[in-house]
Every structure is written in structure tokens, then in C-alpha cells.
Amino acid sequence: MLNKYLDIEDEEIALLKKIKCFILDLDGTVYLGNTLLNGSIEFLRTLDKNNIKFKFFTNNSSKNAEFYINKITNMGYNVKNDMMMISNEVIIDHIKKELPNKSVFVLGNEYLKKDFINSDINVVEENADVVVVGFDTSLAYKNVSKACDFIRNGATFLGVNPDFNCPIENGFMPDCGSICSMITASTGVKPTYFGKPSSYTLNYILNDMGLKEEEVAFVGDRLYTDIAIGKGNKAVTILVLTGETQMKDLKESDIQPTLIFNSLKEIGIALDRMNILGSSVQV
């Protein structure tokens, strides 16, 4: 493990030197709700200054990529369109490739529905072949009941992201995983998830970047999504302690990060301290 209180070992330096792109979580990593976390923007500018590639990837399917681009830009960092990735894109990519021409019922906010419609997917309110559940912050009981009926009648059950809770300034709110659990309790059917930590997301990102597993570092605050995506492969995972997971949680989990930092700010400090900013990590 690595943070500012521990000595930096050669193996850890070697890991960081191999990283060609940081994949950064948003909620609990860059910000909490509408509150920017201290040092986040400075970290992003440090990466920019030293030509270190990075992208944002959020599991939060309550919005879409355009929303998050505007949100971070308004917080003080200008985000280009190709720098933002979201779980919505991963599940849409799968449906277009593996379930073409299927009728899809989307249980989610208008942002998610808009992404599906703009991708030329047949979004319906009746007779659905596929049920897609996202992080619906305006959840209506009639829509949950409708989703359950479709699934009982044989519709494929897909979840955009497995998160049970979304971190906000004053605590947490139920996320997509909690909504899916309710539907599973009613129907007995478990969903297939497409956000972090699924292999769908890992492969989607690697294909997009043209990189190998060991050349990518996933940075985030949640063990069972941001960190679990590195389980069973060579991807580097970096836990930051600014959101859901705290040190005590690691003792009770079989999911362990490659490296640990208190915040994004401290990752930048560590890179500076190791004198690897510049040519040794440029791509």
C-alpha cells in the first residue's frame, strides 16, 4: 500500500511508471455531490501539465456524459467531450451489438432515456424484450411494477451500474443496485450489470484507449466497483479515502487496492516526490 506516510517501494514506483492513463471516478473522488474535493482540480492540471493521459468514468447513470462535462467545467476544469465516459455508454454498446432491434424499457431518469433514444435504440413503454434499470432519482412505483411484469414475462434484465448507494454531501442515497435488488426480490431474477467492476466496462475502456490492462489505473473511493474492476486482471487500482471506503473497511474485505492515497491531491504529491512526473510517465 502507498500513501504519504509510508516509504515508497521500488515495486510501487514501477507500477506507477507503467501507467499510461488514469481512469478517474467522480462521486467521492473528484467531488461529493456539488462540493469539489480539496486539491482535485490542481491534480487534474498537474496531469495536463505533464502530458499524462486521464479520463473520467462514472457509474452514476442518473445523468449523462454531457451533464458531467458541464458540472466539472463549472467547478473550474474545462472537460473535453472525449475525456468523459459513463456506464450508460457501456450498456448501450452491448445492446447495439448483442441485442439489436430489441424493444427496451428504460427505468431511469430522462438523461438515461435520452442516451438510449439518441443511440437509435427502440425505447418502449409496453411489450419490452429488455428491461434496463438505471439510477432513477424520481423512481415511480408504477414503473417498478411494470419492469417486474416484463421480467416475469421473459424480458432480459440489465442493470446499468451495481452501486447500492451514491455518496452525497450529507451521506448517501439509494443507487441503481438498490433498485435492482428490489426488482430481484419481487421477480427472483438477477440482473447483468455493465458499469464498474464488470468486464464489459474494462474491455470498453481498453478498446477505447488502445491500452493493455497494466497500463491503466482505476482511481476511486468504492471497493466493490472502482477497486474490484482490477480483480483477476493486471489493471492497477488506486483507492482514495475521500468517499465511501475507509481504512477500517479494508480489514473486512477480500477486495484490496493496489495502492492507497488519502485523496487525488496526494497522488499528485507522491508523483512529484518520486520525481516521475515528466518523461518517465509521459505517453
Does residue 221 belong to any structural domain of this protein? yes
C-alpha span between 139 and 112 (Å, rounded): 13
Nearest to 134 by CA among 103, 100, 111: 111
Beta bridge partners of 104: 123, 130
pTM: 0.90
Out of 153, 178, 193, a domain closes at 193
Number of domains in the chain: 2
Same domain assignment for residues 101 and 166 = yes
Domain extent at residue 21: 10-59+196-273
Out of 193, 208, 227, a domain closes at 193
Q: Terminus-to-terminus CA distance in the chain, angstroms?
A: 25
Same domain assignment for residues 174 and 213 = no
Out of 130, 159, 193, a domain closes at 193
Residue pLDDT tens, the chain, 283 long: 444 334 555 666 777 778 999 999 998 999 998 999 999 999 999 898 878 899 999 999 999 999 999 999 999 999 999 999 999 999 999 999 999 999 999 999 999 999 999 999 999 999 999 999 999 999 999 999 999 999 999 999 999 999 999 888 888 899 999 999 999 999 999 999 999 999 999 999 999 999 999 999 999 999 999 999 999 999 999 999 999 999 999 999 999 999 999 999 998 887 777 655 444 444 3
Nearest to 146 by CA among 174, 163, 124, 165: 124
Same domain assignment for residues 133 and 202 = no
CATH classification at residue 165: 3.40.50.1000
The half-sphere exposure of 88 on its side-chain side, counting CA atoms within 13 A, is 30
